[in-house]
């Protein structure tokens, strides 16, 4: 299983991510300040650092 932690990158979030490594195969930490959500006529688009996240 994988997990992503979305936060502002504080110490407690990083500690949680470190502990999650015991239980999850992959642990990603995402900075909330780098996430953009755009609303358009076809729905929502989500970007991280200006790129669409993918597998």
Residue 24 has pLDDT above 80, yes or no: yes
3-state secondary structure of 1: coil
- φ/ψ region of 6 (left if φ > 0, alpha if ψ in -120 to 50, else beta) reads beta
Specify the DSSP element, H or E, that contains 6.
strand 2-7
How confident is residue 36, by pLDDT bands cut at 50, 70 and 90?
Answer: very high
- Per the model's pLDDT, the better-predicted residue between 28 and 54 turns out to be 28
| Dist CA 37 CA 28 (whole Å) | 19
| Dist CA 36 CA 23 (whole Å) | 29
Residue 52 has pLDDT above 80, yes or no: yes
Q: What is the DSSP letter of 25?
A: S
């Amino acid at each position: 299983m994988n997990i992503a932690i979305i936060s502002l990158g504080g110490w407690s979030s990083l500690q949680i991510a470190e502990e999650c490594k015991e239980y999850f195969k992959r642990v990603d930490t995402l900075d909330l300040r780098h996430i953009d959500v755009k609303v358009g006529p076809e729905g929502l688009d989500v970007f991280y650092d200006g790129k669409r996240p993918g597998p």
